[in-house]
Amino acid sequence: MTRASLLGLLGAALLACSSSSSDTPTTAPADPAPADGEAGPEDPQAEVTLAYFAGGCFWGVEHYMEQLDGVLGVESGYMGGHVEEPSYQQVASQTSGHLETVRVRFDARRIGYEAVAKRFFEIHDPTQADGQGPDRGPEYLSAVFYTDAEQKRIAEGLIERLRARGYDVVTELRQADRFWPAEEYHQDYYVRKGTEPYCHGWVDRFGTGK
């Protein structure tokens, strides 16, 4: 089943049982999660760090990133466009400039940014230029939104490693912008549905195993 079909079924259910529809824009401020170095709820001593990735449908990226040990939470949302408080419909219309993006909160004491970014490149196809899997369009492009020069350097290094292994990587590197959380029904989609991603999966692209 394609994502469009899944969204159609989900939308019908939401209209029947929810008072907030998918075209209602979020009013949450940008980056309400703890800033780097602040304590997260899971561990008061956690060195919370943020990372942002776009790699097709955010449902699948969120699902696999959440499985990393040291990741405290992953949220689906939008980044990179010019529309404030975008709704899913606006992003899907391909006029907002936003990419479907996930915000990853991780404990830097337990896992480094390189391991987090490496997992991102392993769970989507960084060589696909027109979207991801069956989801085509600019909102599904592959991108790393780096927050500082160190994150950019690490992402560049991972891309070079992949190219050295024969991958024609098209992933864009962009300065992180304001992150807009997606509607509630997009969060933890596969956990709630009890299903698996339809266009994401782990691939040993670096030849290092899991």
Which positions are annotated as active-site residues? 57
Q: How many CA atoms lie within 13 A of 140 on its CB side?
A: 22
CB 96 within 8 A of CB 88: no
What are the structure tokens assigned to 2, written together? 């394609």
CB atoms within 10 A of CB 7: 17
Backbone angles phi, psi at 151, to 5 degrees: -60, -40
User: How far apart, in Å, are the Cα atoms of 191 and each of 59, 67, 128, 203?
Assistant: 10, 11, 26, 21
The label of the residue with tokens 């989507």 reads 124
